[in-house]
Amino acid sequence: MQATGRTRTRDIARAAVRAELAEVAFELFLREGYDQVTLDDLASAAGVSRSTFLRYFGTKEEAVLSAFDAHGAQVADALRERPSDEDDWVALRRALDTVIEHYRRDPAGALATTRLVRNTPALCTRQLEKQQGWRPGLAQALAERAGTSGPPALGLTVKAAAALDCLNIALDHWTASDGRLDLIDLLDEAFAALSPR
């Protein structure tokens, strides 16, 4: 029991340090520009060695994008919790509210992060790769809702991919509006454009 408590405390401490390093990195990227900042700059700004920084984040990209790591699993879990008789497309839209919640809680911070990611080719590319990794989990969650076993059908993977594209397009419009447009309305509109009539 005591070892579990120490492990939990260590995990909490590690998460706190990781969050602090990410915040320092983000502020430096905003101030200096992502491409101008090196790993040495990040370590120096955070007051740690380069090797310490690399223990928490293997790359500069991860210092920004690690905040999104849990989103795919959160959306898949939310999707599994949707009523089984709910249309897949509606369930996908509602499951994405877990991602949207972050934007609603801290609109200014979310807008700054989204701008940094969208305006930095390396970050944008890596973020899209991460989201591509969410598709199998979302398709599997759709299959589980339908009570089917085995690999998800092609159509479920297409629905998952389309839902993520709707999210990205809504985020692009929200960012272009400087956060003035309502992100939920934009996401609803994007989903409605692909809804079966």
User: Domain-by-domain residue ranges, the chain?
Assistant: 2-64, 70-194
User: pLDDT above 90 covers what percent of the chain?
Assistant: 69
Global pTM reads: 0.85
pLDDT bracket for residue 151 (50, 70, 90):
confident
Of 1.10.10.60, 1.10.357.10, 1.20.5.510, 1.20.1250.20, which CATH number belongs to 70-194? Answer: 1.10.357.10
pLDDT bracket for residue 78 (50, 70, 90):
very high
pLDDT for 1 beyond 50: no
Q: In terms of pLDDT, which residue wins out, 22 or 166?
A: 166
The CATH code for residues 2-64 is 1.10.10.60
In this predicted structure, what is the pLDDT of residue 5?
62
CA quadruple 27, 28, 33, 34: dihedral positive or negative?
Answer: negative
In this predicted structure, what is the pLDDT of residue 121?
94
Q: Read off the amino acid at residue 91.
A: A
Q: Three-state SS across 120-172? A: CHHHHHHHHHHHHHHHHHHHHHHHHHHCCCCCCCHHHHHHHHHHHHHHHHHHH
